[in-house]
């Protein structure tokens, strides 16, 4: 949560890269946080050659 709160990570992919966790683990936790109302996903961010990431916010 701190990575999103401080703006260091804006997407699930950035969370996985910065935390060193597997993308599947990050995705599962983010889904749980969204269900709990702690995170929300906004519009797509800038593409870096692949699918446009969905931006996270608290």
Distance CA 47, CA 5 (A): 21
CA distances from 46 to 28, 29, 36 (A): 23, 23, 27
Domain that holds residue 47: 2-57
The values of phi and psi at residue 19, to 5°, are -90, -20
What CATH number is given to the structural domain containing 31? 1.10.10
pLDDT at 44: 78
What pLDDT score does 53 carry?
Answer: 84
Per-residue pLDDT of the chain (58 residues; tens, 9 = 90+): 999 999 999 999 999 999 999 999 999 999 999 999 999 999 777 777 777 888 999 9
pLDDT at position 37 is: 96
pLDDT on residue 11:
94
- For the chain, the domain total comes to 1
């Amino acid at each position: 949560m701190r990575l999103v709160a401080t703006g260091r990570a804006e997407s699930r992919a950035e969370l996985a890269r910065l935390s060193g966790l597997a993308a599947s683990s990050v995705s599962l936790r983010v889904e749980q946080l969204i269900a709990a109302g702690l995170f929300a996903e906004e519009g797509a961010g800038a593409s870096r050659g692949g699918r446009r990431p969905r931006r996270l916010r608290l």
